[in-house]
Amino acid sequence: MSNLDEYGGGPGANADVLVVTTNDAPGYRVDRVIGEVFGLTVRSRHLGTQIGASFKSMLGGELRGLTKTLVESRNQAMERLVEQAKARGANAVLMMRFDVTEAAGTPVHLI
């Protein structure tokens, strides 16, 4: 069983800004569209994590160090998304998407 604080994330139920992946949110209506907001983060992997991942990939199994890095990156990108939305006066973000890509061998996490 995984620890939600360690391997989970995203805004909680009491968040100032509702974030959903759908086109609408049941029980809410869109009064105006403020525009696009996003959160970005670029992280490099810790050398120890990278070495451990190399060994683990030969044996199989979860790469926990990389999983934690991914969770931290997604959470930071989400925080930045919510900060941008609030700064523009929004109380919700619809159609939120995560994307992970690599730039110069370093994962780039986009929301």
pLDDT one-digit tens code per residue, 30-49: 999 999 998 988 776 666 65
**Residue 3 domain-assigned?**
no
Number of domains in the chain: 1
Give the C-alpha separation, 108 to 40, whole Å. Answer: 7
- φ, ψ of residue 13 to 5 degrees: the values are -65, -25
| Structural domain contains residue 6 | no
Residue where the block lists tokens 């949110």: 25
- Has residue 77 been placed in a domain? yes
- Give the angle 44-110-36 at the CA atoms, nearest 5°: 150
Contact between 102 and 73 (Cβ < 8 Å): no
**What per-residue confidence (pLDDT) applies to 1?**
43
What is residue 63's predicted lDDT score, i.e. its pLDDT?
A: 72
Q: How far is CA 85 from the centre of its chain?
A: 15
Q: In the predicted model, is pLDDT for residue 29 greater than 80?
A: yes
pLDDT of res. 3: 61
Whole-number Å distance between alpha carbons of 104 and 95: 28
Assigned domain for 73 exists: yes
Q: Which residue has the higher pLDDT, 71 or 14?
A: 71
9 inside domain: no
Domain that holds residue 77: 15-110
| CATH assignment at residue 55 | 3.30.110.70
90 falls within a domain: yes
- Reply yes or no on whether the pLDDT at 97 is more than 50: yes
Cα 39 from Cα 24, distance rounded (Å): 20
CB atoms under 10 Å from CB of 44, counted, come to 12
Q: Is residue 97 part of a domain?
A: yes
pLDDT at 74: 87
Q: What angle do CA 96, 94, 44 make, to 5 degrees?
A: 20
Instruction: Please report the pLDDT score of residue 5 as a whole number.
Output: 63
Residue of 100 and 5 predicted with greater confidence? 100
pLDDT at residue 59 greater than cutoff 50:
yes
Percentage with pLDDT > 90 across the chain: 36
